[in-house]
Structure 1
Amino acid sequence: MANRPAPALVLREGDLERLSRIVRSTAERAGLVLRSRIVLLAAEGLANESIAERVGVARNTVLAWRRRYAQSGLRGLEDQARSGRPRRIDHRKIVSTTLKPPPKKYGVTHWSSRLLGKHLGIGNKTVAVAWREYGVQPWRAETFRFSTDPELVGKVNDVVGLYLNPPENAIVLCVDEKSQIQALDRTAPLLPIREGSCEKRTHDYVRHGTSTLFAALEIATGRVTGACKPRHRNTEFLAFLKQVARAYPDQDLHLVMDNYAAHKHPNVKAWLEAHPRVKCHFTPTHASWMNLVEVWFGIIERQAIHRGTFGSVKDLNAKIRAFITGWNDRCHPFVWTKTADQILKKAKRSTTSETPH
């Protein structure tokens, strides 16, 4: 009696779409694509010999993958775990050596995979695998700074309290200055953005001087009061405070600012005493990130200054003022979300943490 062709393979619910997606994919492993094709052809009712001829494998291979799918579904098409050759290199030793400074004879500050591989007599790819396994990245370095302010707790609670629960019938403003803004002009005109090509500019430039931007950010609306001045002494800062006071007449003002010396100058203190409706709240030392105007300074830097070209300081100041005018037409509130307890908990954890061994 002649051999009858095997019956069509019955696919599980939803597998037709998944298998078809795998077969069409250009990112899947070639082996998985091949097995998926075999299963799809078997589901169409093709004979095993025809499937083997079409995909270029032996008939027994077709039988094996039909059986695997029938038993385990899509999971049966995945590669099974293989024991392989036992690892002969201890990754912990590689990482342990990585965490120690390189010998002085190398004259380097940190290990590279090639240098450590040569030092240990192994391949640099083996070093890279060990680093990836343990999450070690010797080429990276970050900065940190602990606040040593003796009034840390009080200042954090004060500033965060203003953000999360501002006083009624009062305005909360974040005040600071962005100093040393350079009026840079390129040595050749910019090449504008075009289809298929980004904006281009020369790497060299002409410096025409610097300016300082004083800004007061109203957190409830995002509105900014700004002024450009040639320097950032207490004289300029006091003049800016008077400008802010005029911009908000007959309203109590709560100003959040950092501990820059000009902010605490006797002239500034005397003016504040004469104007009790203006109250200052200082961020902890080394915690200027708590001043929300720093976020706005990042916005104007990215959107108006970094890629700008300025023929003079006057031109720079005019474009800064134009940005502030446009910003105030589209501004939005600045919302603070982190509580004082969260900030203090993280600060405490950072100062008490020990270096892992």
Structure 2
Amino acid sequence: MEEYGNYISVALLPLLAILQPHRWKNFSTSYSMPSCIVLRSKIILMAAEEKNNTQIAKAIGTSYSTVSIWRNRFYNSIDLIAQTEEYDGPDCEKKLSDVIKSVLSDKQRPGKEPVFTPEQIMLINELACKNPKDFGYELSCWNLASLAKEAGRQGIVESVSVASVQRFLKFAGIAPWKNRYWLNSPEKHDDPESFKKIETICGIYLQAAELAECGTEVYSTDEMTGIQALERKYPDKPVRPGSPALHEFEYIRHGTISLITFLRVADGSIQSPYLNSTRNEEDFCNAVRQLIAEGADKNYIIICDGLNTHKSEGLVKLVAQECSITADLGIKGKEGILGSMKSRESFLMDESHRIRFVYTPKHSSWVNQIEIWFGIINRKLLKKGSYKSVAEMAQSILNFIKQYNLTAKAFNWKYAG
């Protein structure tokens, strides 16, 4: 053993022969380890080759004192490394690597005393979660400068920088300037049947393929209203390398159209699209009549929302006719099945009918699979389309549906209620 100043220089050849030199070589050539650990591994390996501190420092481009420190650190940790190597447990390799890393890593330093206490930081975060109007600010949400100012005014801190406030909020995951829409839907809690309805619809979705084999078709339907036939005032400019397509901002309106269509849940195809300028009771009845005309010998389960046109007098009469129901239906608004919307709904939901409807709860359009498809056609066709007439747009929609059905697949519905 040699001494250089106050540091110990150790002849490491016999030691590394015991302590697996290949492991140190792996450390010294690693591309994933921190560079400081790689450098210190090289110091240990070169010391094992009986090179002195000056030679090592010159070879790896570091200072004499750095080499001495880490040779000394290694010498003081030899017993610990040797004991760990003797360990023969299931994770012995990992344990030995962790020990070597700890020997070659910097010791924990005390660092600078924190300027702000945890209590102060907590109070600033708490302030960020309150309404700024309660503190006299005409703001809809906090900004960093206002928060820093109010923290000082409240006596939480003497002063605090905007950067510090930003750091506190980021660590706590608080962003008062961000928001997203939320719908308070008390009927979901007030109506105990709400979740049961969702479970029923999800159950039908999951059994749609089996029901289809047994002759019962499951469809999801709704209206896509007010589809505008917009013609861009000037042609779009195509996409180029380094530049997206340029979509003309100004447009010319050519009218609107409504689409009522049916998604066959078993295979995801779109059936019986019905396009018209209006969307009323008669239109929905015509769309349903068009659908069921294609399978007079089948049963139908049609899922839709609770819009009044989906529980209309005309729809009740259509179902009664198709199901050969001769009983008196009553008078709308007065008596019998047609007496009220609730009585009409009960009739249309009757499971004994060949054609029956299942209604989604209020504010639960996400349960209706047709809404997913409306998003698809909007993104892929309507959002960037340019049409010179309503007729041109209607034909484009029909062409899209025909093309979509060639590769349609059932939605992978996993929610079960």
TM-score, with structure 1 as normaliser: 0.81
Greater displacement, 41-50 / 263-272: 41-50
Greater displacement, 74-83 / 109-118: 74-83
Query: What CA distance in whole angstroms lies between the structure 1 residues aligned with 2:64 and 2:290?
Result: 87
Indicate the SS of the match to 1:213. strand
Q: How far 1:36 sits from its partner (Å)? A: 2.5
Structure 1 pair 7–199 and aligned structure 2 pair: CA distance change class (3 A): farther
Indicate conservation of the 8 Å contact 1:179/1:232, yes or no.
yes
Greater displacement, 107-116 / 304-313: 304-313
**Which residue is 1:249 aligned to?**
296
**Which residue is 1:294 aligned to?**
371
Q: How far 1:179 sits from its partner (Å)? A: 1.1
**Which residue is 1:108 aligned to?**
139
Indicate the SS of the match to 1:228. strand
Q: Map 1:250-329 onto structure 2 (within 5 A).
A: 250-276=297-323, 277-329=354-406
Q: How far 1:326 sits from its partner (Å)? A: 0.7
Greater displacement, 189-198 / 57-66: 57-66
Indicate conservation of the 8 Å contact 1:147/1:285, yes or no.
no
Amino acid paired to 2:406: D
**Which residue is 1:137 aligned to?**
175
Q: How far 1:6 sits from its partner (Å)? A: 6.4
Q: How far 1:54 sits from its partner (Å)? A: 5.7
Structure 1 pair 324–51 and aligned structure 2 pair: CA distance change class (3 A): farther
Query: What CA distance in whole angstroms lies between the structure 1 residues aligned with 2:28 and 2:379?
Result: 45
**Which residue is 2:155 aligned to?**
none
Greater displacement, 115-124 / 214-223: 115-124
Amino acid paired to 2:114: R
Structure 1 pair 15–2 and aligned structure 2 pair: CA distance change class (3 A): closer
Indicate conservation of the 8 Å contact 2:219/2:301, yes or no.
yes
Q: How far 1:227 sits from its partner (Å)? A: 2.4
Query: What CA distance in whole angstroms lies between the structure 1 residues aligned with 2:256 and 2:63?
Result: 76
- The correspondence for 1:12, drawn from 19, 23, 28, is 23
Structure 1 pair 65–190 and aligned structure 2 pair: CA distance change class (3 A): farther
Root-mean-square deviation (CA, aligned residues, Å) is 3.0
**Which residue is 1:207 aligned to?**
253
Query: What CA distance in whole angstroms lies between the structure 1 residues aligned with 2:29 and 2:60?
Result: 19
**Which residue is 2:282 aligned to?**
235
Query: What CA distance in whole angstroms lies between the structure 1 residues aligned with 2:38 and 2:404?
Result: 55
Query: What CA distance in whole angstroms lies between the structure 1 residues aligned with 2:24 and 2:166?
Result: 42
- The correspondence for 2:38, drawn from 25, 36, 39, is 36
Whose radius of gyration is greater, 1 or 2?
Answer: 2
**Which residue is 2:346 aligned to?**
none
Amino acid paired to 1:211: I
Query: What CA distance in whole angstroms lies between the structure 2 residues aligned with 1:272 and 1:13?
Result: 82
Indicate the SS of the match to 2:205. helix
- Runs of 5+ consecutive residues of structure 1 not aligned to the other structure: 23-31, 341-357
Is the counterpart of residue 146 in structure 1 residue 185 in structure 2? yes
Query: What CA distance in whole angstroms lies between the structure 2 residues aligned with 1:14 and 1:290?
Result: 60
**Which residue is 1:85 aligned to?**
112
Greater displacement, 101-110 / 229-238: 101-110
**Which residue is 1:99 aligned to?**
129
Query: What CA distance in whole angstroms lies between the structure 2 residues aligned with 1:11 and 1:204?
Result: 70
Indicate the SS of the match to 1:20. coil
- CA deviations over 1:317-355 (Å, ceiling 9, x no partner): 111111111110000012321222xxxxxxxxxxxxxxx
**Which residue is 2:93 aligned to?**
none
- CA deviations over 1:186-236 (Å, ceiling 9, x no partner): 222111123333212122222222221212111110110122221211121
**Which residue is 1:128 aligned to?**
166
Amino acid paired to 2:227: I
TM-score, with structure 2 as normaliser: 0.70
User: Percent of counterpart pairs with the same letter?
Assistant: 25
Amino acid paired to 2:126: S
**Which residue is 2:66 aligned to?**
61
